[in-house]
Chain A
Amino acid sequence: MSAYQYMIAPFVEFEFMRRALVGAFALGLGGAPVGVFLMLRRMSLTGDAMAHAILPGAAVGFLFAGLNLFAMTAGGIAAGVTVAVGAGLIARSTGLKEDASLAAFYLVSLALGVLIVSLKGSNIDLLHVLFGTVLALDNATLILIASIATVSLLALALIWRPLVLECVDPNFLRSVSRSGAPTHLIFLALMVLNLVGGFHALGTLLAVGIMMLPAAAARFWVRELTAMIVLAILLAVVSGYAGLLLSYHSGAAAGPAIILVAGILYAGSVVLGPIGGLKRHFVPARHLEA
């Protein structure tokens, strides 16, 4: 089998593969930069918790309208925003730390979501919600995912300065501007939007993977923020492409294959990455003169 047949032909021959590829690219483009900031703000697990929190909202949409794009998206966004704000409020007004209250929220959400879906739908529907259907993206879903990627990149460009400052030196930001709180809220909204977009393709359990794994991997290769974001997007896009190929040739489920490739890239980075990677740790190079 030639390289063309192996690597390109599946996308030329099958429309559903092309659609899946476009969807995966758009997800990586919007999600990876958000993932980098989540990682740098030590909010990686927040992203994970939020991905679960979206489920009951989407499930309520499913309960009323079946597998309807609009209903499930609106429900997911509503649930995501509620949990993000709710967990923040509980953390602020009680002694409970934000991570603990998020954990409480997402466990309840996950149970509630699965319960609601199982009330009306079959196990197939449940699998659809939990793991997505990247090989069955219709036009409307593709447009939604692409719009979310566009909005994310534009919004990140607009809030770039205060977002960076809020991470590095929040007291300084507070001293020159009041944009800290709105910036944080916009950022949380971007996270929810990207998770909802990822939810349609990869499902609620894996959506966060395409955000966090490329971000975490990129950190092992480059030191600077811009480079880190570009590399994370690249890794996400490569994961999407290679994961789809892997799934096509092996017959494995496409969503998990994409995340698995991202996971392999992450593992490779942990071992080989020049910045803090294990190889440097176990095979020390001789020290430099200065």
Chain B
Amino acid sequence: MTAALEFRNLTLGYDRHPAVHHLSGKVPEGALLAVVGPNGAGKSTLLKGIVGALDPLTGEIDRNGAKKEAIAYLPQLAEIDRSFPINVYDLVAMGLWRKAGLFGGIGRQDRRSIEQAISAVGLDGFEARTIGTLSGGQMQRALFARLLLQDARLILLDEPFAAMDENTIADLSDLIGRWHGERRTIVTVLHDLDYVRAHIPEALLLAREAVAWGRTGDVLTSENLKKARRMCEVFHAGAPVCEETA
């Protein structure tokens, strides 16, 4: 089976401090992978690296030839300026970036896909509402509609269910299930371990380094989780230069 993603001795970080440290491994095409771990474990950083928003300090990411635009990325809700005066329709339409780019027009067919995407996440009638008036759940639905439009083979989700109610989680879960059924590759950062155990077949437990990676049941053992927590507590400002190579 071909790999949609391969990390080779990948180190990502900020200002020389590694947030993801010497990670190696493959994500096969069509996989549904949960990235779990304590706060500060490098989960969001890993997604930013995959999407190309952050260049590796060392090592590399093989995207199997996928271009930047062929990856759909859901940033954390908290990183979006929801006071900006833009409406739901325009926000969702950004999903057409790969097709329309900087200047491309948006035709009748495109407008239909935008309306369909908005409808698919249950936001009919919200098109003209500015995003500042949406609840957290509605906002996340709008961002999922944008993902739908991106129509990507590789989908990265950063905490899609943070602070969402059951109803929203169920609906968004269905969308993720649909993508999985279409053999798209999905990598999602999650905190709810019970949810991961119930719905996500594979997991990567990250604590800057990979603690465990494989079938969810084998990864999320109490021993591994304890180890992950311990490993995340060792950051300090005067850390020496890392000598490890491979």
Residues of A bordering B, CB below 8 Å = 40, 158-159, 161-162, 164-165, 167-172, 174-179, 222-225, 228
Contacts and interface: CB of A to CB of B under 8 A. Distances in A.
Contacts of A175: 51-53, 68, 71, 73, 75
A168 B91 contact: yes
Given A169-B75, A169-B81, A174 B86 contact: no
Contact of B86 (A162, A176, A179, A225): A225
Given A174-B48, A175-B68, 4 more contacts: A40-B84, A158-B103, A161-B97, A223-B85
B97 A176 contact: yes
Query: Ordered nearest first, which 5 A-B pairs have the shortest CB separation?
Result: A174-B53, A171-B75, A175-B73, A175-B51, A176-B97
Interface in B71-109: 71, 73, 75, 79-81, 84-87, 90-91, 94, 97-98, 101-103
Contacts of A162: 102
Nearest to A224: B85
A269 B94 CA distance: 32
B69 interface: yes
Contact of B75 (A172, A177, A178): A172
10 contacts: A161-B94, A167-B84, A171-B75, A172-B73, A175-B71, A175-B75, A176-B73, A176-B98, A177-B68, A225-B85
B130 interface: yes
B188 to A, nearest CB: 15
Contacts, number: 72
A172 B94 contact: yes
Contact of B79 (A159, A167, A171): A171
A167 B86 CA distance: 10
A161 B84 contact: no
A177 B84 CA distance: 20
Contacts of B71: 175
A204 B87 CA distance: 36
Chain A contact surface mostly: helix
Nearest to B74: A172
B130 A176 contact: no
Contacts of A222: 85
Interface of B: 48, 51-53, 68-69, 71, 73, 75, 79-81, 84-87, 90-91, 94, 97-98, 101-103, 130-132, 146
A176 B90 CA distance: 16
A162 B68 CA distance: 16
A171 B48 contact: yes
A174 B84 contact: no
Contacts of A176: 68-69, 73, 97-98
Q: Residue among A167, A172, A177, A225 with the most chain B CB within 10 A?
A: A172
B81 A168 contact: yes
Contacts of A228: 85
Contacts of B73: 171-172, 175-176
A179 B101 CA distance: 10
Contacts of A159: 102
Contacts of A168: 80-81, 84, 86, 91, 131
A97 to B, nearest CB: 16
A20 B52 CA distance: 50
Q: Residue among B53, B71, B90, B98 with the most chain A CB within 10 A?
A: B53
Contact of A165 (B51, B52, B94): B94
A209 B84 CA distance: 22
A178 B52 CA distance: 10
Nearest to B80: A169
A174 B75 CA distance: 11
A248 B69 CA distance: 57
B52 to A, nearest CB: 7
A162 B80 CA distance: 15
A170 B11 CA distance: 23
Nearest to A176: B97
Contact of A167 (B81, B90, B101): B81
Contacts of B84: 40, 164, 167-168, 225
B15 to A, nearest CB: 11
Contact of B97 (A40, A167, A177, A224): A177
A164 B97 contact: no
A192 to B, nearest CB: 23
A223 B130 contact: yes
Contacts of A161: 94, 97, 102-103
